[in-house]
Amino acid sequence: MTELDAADVSGGRIRIPRSRGAVSGVLLILLGAWGALAPLVGPYWDFGFTPNETWNLTDGRWWFHVLPGIVTVIGGLLLLLGTDRITASIGGWLAAAAGAWYVIALPLQPNLSLGSVGNPIHTSLRGSTVERLSLFDGLGALIIFISAYALGRLAVVGVRDVRHARHRAARQQELDEAAVATAGVRRRESGRDIDEVTPVEDDPNRRNPNDTVVLPETPAHARGGPIEDTTRLGPRNN
């Protein structure tokens, strides 16, 4: 495996395409909404558990229906919107825990002080079985199955994940190169603005080409010519 391939696999271990948990997330959201709302609206059609009253949020309905339904919806949203394996996995485990709670709620309810879930509204064997499977055992098992399927997909690093990581790395490299090029253009424009704002005559170290340059007089002996003795020793006789 080359260094580039190793980097691609490493990036694909964390980041995932959003579509990876989209289907599982949508199904979990629908199941969670059903589990939370069905006990409250089911009495409209004589479906659910007692009391046979719509929108009557008892303690039992809150702890054994509505709360696990909300947790399932949250888990589905994390799977649907998550772009990394950690976030999506948390959503999958939340939904799985809520599904397990639906399954064990009825056997544990007599030993817990969380209120009563009531009795099935239908007294017939078929009707009560359908209500129990739809609101507890069957619902929880279906949520657990979908959550396990989503977690299994998240545990595998596929070719699509590596391709997604490679595309994201190339895109990031293009953005970095564009940022460096933009910074260079800005620096050049900034230097040009400074040159235009500062006049040439304001530079004290710049010499005007029209100025006359006065050179110091060179001594005669340095020029190599005869040295005229201008020392007067006394009056000259004519």
Residues 99-112 have pLDDT tens digits of 999 999 999 998 88
Residues 188-213 have pLDDT tens digits of 766 665 555 555 555 555 555 555 55
2 falls in which pLDDT band (50, 70, 90)? very low
* Rounded Cα–Cα distance for residues 101 and 108 (Å): 10
Distance of CA 102 to the CA centre of its chain: 32
Query: Which whole number is the average pLDDT over 100-126?
Result: 91
Bridge partners, 84 (sequence order)? 15
What is the predicted pLDDT for the residue at 105?
Answer: 92
* Rounded Cα–Cα distance for residues 22 and 130 (Å): 29
Residues 6+ apart with CB under 8 A from 148: 92, 96
Domain boundaries, the chain: 7-157, 160-204
What is the predicted pLDDT for the residue at 4?
Answer: 43
Which has more pLDDT, 60 or 191?
A: 60
3-class DSSP string for 50-103: CCCCCCCCCHHHHHHHHHHHHHHHHHHHHHHHCCEHHHHHHHHHHHHHHHHHHH
What is the predicted pLDDT for the residue at 191?
Answer: 62
What is the predicted pLDDT for the residue at 145?
Answer: 97
Distance of CA 197 to the CA centre of its chain: 44
Q: Does 209 sit behind a cis peptide bond, omega within 30 degrees of 0 on the bond before it?
A: no
Q: Is 80 exposed, middle or buried (0-12, 13-18, 19+ CB in 10 A)?
A: buried
Residues 6+ apart with CB under 8 A from 104: 140
